[in-house]
Each structure stands twice: as structure tokens, then as C-alpha cells.
Amino acid sequence: MTRAFLSWCVFFLAISHHPSVTGAEIPTDMALIPPGEFTMGSPEGSDGFPDERPERRVFLSGYFLDRFEVTNHAYDTFVQATGHRSPVNASQTATLWRNNRPIPDIEHHPVVNVSWEDAAAYCRWAGKRLPTEAEWEKAARGIDSRRYPWGNDWDFSRANSASVVNHK
């Protein structure tokens, strides 16, 4: 799976701290990613990065993953409760937060412009953690090792990425 795709992912999904998923009830708004092997990485000759090669079989224990991205509303609750800094963008025209609050009408959109450290802080506050690269890739590939969550062909309308803007 290419790093390019992973960089298009809007924000992060958190993993619940459950010592074992065997027989556990699936938490609300989380998906059970079952234990098992999957193919991780990119094949030789693909458009992936060198550190994504070679493709390899990886076994992971089962885990729970948030079904949906973290929204501006959820992240705002974290910011207000902890005093953590709000998301920032170097371009004022692209900034989606003003005065430490999300701008109106985007509360239920995925939060953007957060660093890995910001995402990890949110997860700790929520009692979760960020997925590992392997956990994220297994969940994103699904059970059939597809290239993108929706299949093997790029579809600009299915991802929150710059190519969506270019095709409107």
C-alpha cells in the first residue's frame, strides 16, 4: 500500500485499548479487525516507496478500530477539556479553526491539520491509541488485499484529497 494513499487519509482512527478481542463485545462506533495474516507493503515495480518493499505476510492479533474519522466536534471537545492547541494551517485561507474553535458548519467533518503528536494526545485523552502502520494497512486493505478501501482503481470522489478539488 503506497504512502501516497496513506497521506490522503484525512486524520486518524483510534484503536481501543482492549487486551483481548476474543469474545469481547464490539464497542459502539468501532469495528473488529479479526486476527490473521495479510499482505503488507508494495510489490517490486509498483509506485510505492522503497521502505514499503518487499511485500510480506504479517500476522496481527485482533483489534478494534474506530469506524469513522475524528470530527472537528470531537476534537474541539478534547481541545476545550485539555487546553491542547487547536489545529493550525500555515495558510490563513485554509485554516478551518478560528479563535481555538472550528468554523461554523464543519463540526461533523473530519478534523485536519493535526500532527502525529496532536493525534496521539487526542487518543490518550480518549483512552485509545493510534494504530500501527500494519494495523492501519490491514484495516484499509480489507479481506481481499485491495489497493484502496473501495477497490483497486483510484476514484477521486471516494477520498478527501487534493484530486477531489481538481475534478469538481
Q: Could you tell me the residue ranges of all domains in the chain?
A: 3-155
**Contact by Cβ (8 Å): 135, 15:** yes
The shares of helix, strand and coil residues in the chain, as percent rounded to the nearest 5, are 30, 20, 50
Q: Which of 26, 9, 12 is nearest to 75 (CA)?
A: 12
Distance CA 85, CA 18 (A): 28
Distance separating the N- and C-terminal Cα atoms of the chain: 26
CATH H-level, domain 3-155: superfamily: paralog of FGE (formylglycine-generating enzyme) (3.90.1580.10)
H/E stretch holding 166: helix 162-166
- The pLDDT profile of the chain, 168 residues, written as one tens digit per residue, is 444 443 333 345 566 555 456 566 888 899 999 999 999 988 888 877 888 888 899 999 999 999 999 999 999 999 999 999 988 876 666 677 777 788 888 889 899 889 999 999 999 999 999 999 999 999 988 878 777 778 888 887 877 655 444 444
